[in-house]
Amino acid sequence: MKDKQTTFFWIIIGLLCVNLLVNNHSITLWDEDEAAYAGFAERMYQGGASFVNPEYKWSIIHRKAPLHFWTITSSYYVFGVNEFAVRFPGALAILLACLSMFFMGRTVFGESMARWAAIVLSTSIVLPIMGKVGLTDATLLFSQTVAVLALLNFVLDPKWKWLLLLWVGIAVGVLTKGPPILIVTGGLWLWLAVFHPQRKNLIKTHPWFFGLLAMLPFGWWCYLSYLENYAEWQANTLDLPFEEWWQTEIHGRKEHLLPFLWDWYVLRRVGGGVLGQTAPPGYHLGILSAAFLTWLPFVFAGIWHQFKQFFKKERSITTISLMGWLMFSWLFYELMASKLPSYSMGAQPAIALVIAQQLHLWKTEEVYPYRKLLLLGAGLYILIFSILVLGLPIAGYYFLGEIALWRTILFSVSLAAALIYLISKLKQSREQAVKAFAYVGAVLMLGLWLFIAPIAEQTPIKPFKEISEIAIELDKQFPSKGKSTTPIYILGPDLKQSKISLIFYLETSFKTCEEILWDKWVPLIKRFVSKEPMVLILGTVAEKPINTILKENGIKEGLSGVKTIRVDVWSLDDQLKSHPFVILTNQ
C-alpha cells in the first residue's frame, strides 16, 4: 500500500513539472509585473543597471529587494533572454515548495498527511500559476514554507539542520520581498511560545543572534545600495545635502531605492490601500477558496475543524501548529486595509495541510463529522466546474470568435472526462475518489496552459512581441540576428497601450528604444522625412497629429505616403475595445 502511495505521489509531482514548464517558451510575457521583472533582469544582464540597485526606467513601482532579479538574470545566462528563462526560477521555487512540504512536513504532521498536503498543493490552482509567471511570490512562498516547517520541526526536535533551514529560509525571504516572511515566522514563534507544550525549545533558536545573522545579507545589500547612491551624489557634486538628495527625483525615479521600499512596501500598506486595492475582511478567504477550487469540498470543513479543535481543552500539536500558521499568513492580512491577492499566499501550505487532514477523516470515518460543510463545498464545486465545462466554449466564441472555439471545446472535453472519472471513483471508494480529485486538478491546469492560455497569443490581446517582430521586418537593413542599430521611437500611446511587455520586446530587439514626448514630435518627424534611419510606433494619441506633421513636412499623403503596418490591440480592462498601433519606417 505504501509503495502505491509513493508511486501516486511521484506521478502527481511529474504532472506538476509538466504543468510548470509546458508552453513557457511560447506564451509571451504578461503585463505588468512579469514583464517589469523581466526588464529589470535584462538591464542587469546587459550591464545597463547595477546588481545592487535594480533599475528599469519603464517601471518605478516594481522595484524590490534584488534576489528575484538576480535569479532571473542567472537564468538568462543559462537559457538566454526569453520567456522560459524569466519563468524558470519561479517554476523551480514552486516545485521545491511542494517537495519541502513532504520531506520536511512528515516529521511534524506524519508521512501520510504531509504527502497528501504536497499533492493538494501540486494540484491546486494559484500555486502552479505562480510558478508559471515570473513573479517574486514563488520564491517567497518557497522560503516561507521552508522556514515555517523548519521552525515547527525544531520545536519538536531541536537539531542543527532545522535551525539552519529556519534562518536560511528567513534570509532568502527577506532578500526576496522584505517583511512578509518576518510576519509569518515571527508571529508563529510568539504563538508557539504561548501554546506549544515544548515551547522551551524556542529559546534554542536564539533569534537575538541568528536572527541578526539571517538579516546580514539584506543588511549588506542595503549598505551597498546606500554606498552606491552616496558615490553617485559625490560624483554629481550637488549642493543639496545627501539626505535631501536621496529623497528627490533622480533619473525619472520618484526617489532612491531604499526610501522608496520603506514608503511603498511598508508605510503605505500598513496605513491604507495601495493602487486603490482595498477590500473588507473575508477577501483573502475568497482568494484561498479560489486557490483550492480543485479541493473546494474540503476547504470550509477543514478551516472550521481547526477552529473547533483549537478551542478544546486538549489541543493537539498539529492543531496548535496549523492555527498559528493560519493566524499569521492569512488572518493577519484580513485585518489590513491594503489587499492584494499575493498577501495570503503564505497560507496555502497551511490550507493544504488542513485539507489533507480532512481527506484522512473522510477516508477513514464512516460518518464524516462535517457533512453539511462538505456538501456546501461540493455544491460550489459542481456549480463552478459545470459553468467552466459548459460556459467556457460559449464565452470564448462570443468574445473571441472561432479562434477560441476548438481550444475551449478541447479544454471542456478533457475537464469533463476528468470529472466523469471522479464520479466513477466516488462510487467505488473514498480512497480512489481522493486520488481522482488530484487528477482533476492536474488536468485542469494542463488544459489551462495547453488550450486556454495560447488563445490570447492568437488574438490582439497580446500582440506586443509581434509588434517588435513586425518593426524588424519593416526595415530590410536590419540584421537577422542580434539587436538592430536602427533606433525605434514610441509616440503617443494611450493608457491602454502603455504596456511594459511592449517595451521589453522592443528593447531586446533594438539598441535604441525611446518614448518621445509630444513637444519633440515635430523635430523627430523632420529627421524622419530627411531619411534618417528610424522606426516609429504611433499610439492612438499620436496618429492624427503625426499625419498632419508629415503633410506639413513634405509628405503630402501623410501616413499613406510612407510604409506602415497597423496592428490591432485589444484591452482586457476596456471591454476588448481596440487600441491600434501604427508602425512605420522611412527605409
80-107 per-position pLDDT tens digit: 999 999 999 999 999 999 999 999 999 9
> Residues 384, 482: one domain?
no
> Residues 412, 555: one domain?
no
> Residues 433, 559: one domain?
no
* DSSP state for residue 274 in the 8-state scheme: B
- Read off the C-alpha cell for 515: 518614448
Kindly report the CA angle at 342 between 34 and 102, in degrees rounded to 5? 100
Rounded distance between C-alpha atoms, residue 113 and residue 134, angstroms: 30
134-170 per-position pLDDT tens digit: 999 999 999 999 999 999 999 999 999 999 999 999 9
> Residues 491, 538: one domain?
yes
Rounded distance between C-alpha atoms, residue 382 and residue 388, angstroms: 10
* DSSP state for residue 328 in the 8-state scheme: I
> Residues 346, 444: one domain?
no
**Average pLDDT estimate for 20-29:** 93
> Residues 443, 480: one domain?
no
**Which pLDDT does position 362 carry in this prediction?**
92
Residue 144 and residue 104 in contact, taking contact as beta carbons nearer than 8 Å: no
- Which residues of 140-286 form beta strands (DSSP E)? none
**Which pLDDT does position 476 carry in this prediction?**
64
**Which pLDDT does position 47 carry in this prediction?**
83
- Using CA atoms, how far residue 184 sits from 111, 178, 191, 350, 388, in Å, is 24, 12, 10, 11, 35
Residue 375 predicted with pLDDT over 90: yes
Three-state DSSP class for residue 577: strand
- Asked which of 342, 364, 386 is the last residue of a domain, the reply is 364
Residue 104 and residue 153 in contact, taking contact as beta carbons nearer than 8 Å: yes
Rounded distance between C-alpha atoms, residue 233 and residue 251, angstroms: 13
**Which pLDDT does position 587 carry in this prediction?**
73
Rounded distance between C-alpha atoms, residue 355 and residue 23, angstroms: 30
* DSSP state for residue 338 in the 8-state scheme: B
Q: Could you list the residue range(s) of the whole structural domain that residue 316 is in? A: 2-271+281-364
The H-or-E segment that residue 585 falls in is strand 581-585
Three-state DSSP class for residue 535: strand
411-470 per-position pLDDT tens digit: 999 999 999 999 999 888 899 999 999 999 999 999 999 999 999 888 898 899 999 989
**Which pLDDT does position 481 carry in this prediction?**
53
- Read off the C-alpha cell for 361: 477523516
φ, ψ of residue 535 to 5 degrees: the values are -125, 135
Furthest C-alpha separation in the chain = 88
Rounded distance between C-alpha atoms, residue 379 and residue 389, angstroms: 15
Calculate the CA 377 to chain-centre distance.
Answer: 27
Residue 82 and residue 276 in contact, taking contact as beta carbons nearer than 8 Å: no
The H-or-E segment that residue 440 falls in is helix 430-447
55-65 per-position pLDDT tens digit: 888 888 888 89
Three-state DSSP class for residue 123: coil
Residue 218 predicted with pLDDT over 80: yes
As for how many domains the chain has, the answer is 3
Select from 170, 144, 172 the least CA-distant residue to 70.
Answer: 172
Is residue 276 domain-resident?
no
Give the range among 8-22, 222-236, 241-255, 458-472 with minimum mean pLDDT: 241-255
φ, ψ of residue 49 to 5 degrees: the values are -145, 155
Task: Count other C-beta atoms under 10 Å from residue 112's C-beta.
Answer: 15
DSSP strand pairing (513-516 vs 488-491): parallel
**Which pLDDT does position 581 carry in this prediction?**
94
**Which pLDDT does position 219 carry in this prediction?**
93
Q: What type of residue sits at position 71?
A: T
- Read off the C-alpha cell for 86: 524569466
Is residue 517 domain-resident?
yes
- Asked which of 313, 342, 364 is the last residue of a domain, the reply is 364
φ, ψ of residue 35 to 5 degrees: the values are -65, -40
104-127 per-position pLDDT tens digit: 999 999 999 999 999 999 999 999
> Residues 250, 267: one domain?
yes
Is residue 164 domain-resident?
yes
The pTM score is 0.93
Is residue 157 domain-resident?
yes
Residue 480 predicted with pLDDT over 90: no
The H-or-E segment that residue 489 falls in is strand 488-491
Is residue 163 domain-resident?
yes
348-373 per-position pLDDT tens digit: 999 999 999 999 999 888 888 999 99
| Residues β-bridged to residue 565 | 583
Most confident option among 55-59, 378-382, 529-533: 378-382
φ, ψ of residue 473 to 5 degrees: the values are -65, -30
> Residues 377, 487: one domain?
no
Q: Domain of 561: which CATH number?
A: 3.40.190
Residue 140 and residue 115 in contact, taking contact as beta carbons nearer than 8 Å: no
- Read off the C-alpha cell for 233: 551624489
> Residues 354, 384: one domain?
no
On the question of a cis peptide bond just before residue 249, with omega within 30 degrees of 0, the verdict is no
Counting Cα atoms < 13 Å in the Cβ hemisphere of 451 gives 21
**Average pLDDT estimate for 174-190:** 94
**Average pLDDT estimate for 498-525:** 91
**Which pLDDT does position 477 carry in this prediction?**
58
Give the residue with greater pLDDT, 234 vs 33: 33
Is residue 576 domain-resident?
yes
Is residue 149 domain-resident?
yes
> Residues 359, 376: one domain?
no
489-508 per-position pLDDT tens digit: 999 999 889 899 999 999 88
Mean pLDDT of the chain: 90
> Residues 220, 340: one domain?
yes
- Asked which of 341, 364, 387 is the last residue of a domain, the reply is 364
Please list, residue by residue across 54-73, b when 16 or more beta carbons sit within 10 angstroms of its beta carbon and e when fewer do.
bbbebbeebbbbbbbbbbbb
Residue 68 and residue 176 in contact, taking contact as beta carbons nearer than 8 Å: yes
* DSSP state for residue 450 in the 8-state scheme: I
> Residues 328, 387: one domain?
no
Rounded distance between C-alpha atoms, residue 121 and residue 100, angstroms: 11
**Which pLDDT does position 249 carry in this prediction?**
62
Select from 308, 347, 318 the least CA-distant residue to 330.
Answer: 347
Kindly report the CA angle at 129 between 171 and 165, in degrees rounded to 5? 20
- Using CA atoms, how far residue 67 sits from 37, 90, 260, 462, in Å, is 11, 12, 17, 28
**Which pLDDT does position 238 carry in this prediction?**
67
In this prediction, what percent of the chain has a pLDDT beyond 70? 95
Is residue 264 domain-resident?
yes
Task: Count other C-beta atoms under 10 Å from residue 442's C-beta.
Answer: 22
**Which pLDDT does position 226 carry in this prediction?**
86
Give the residue with greater pLDDT, 52 vs 254: 52
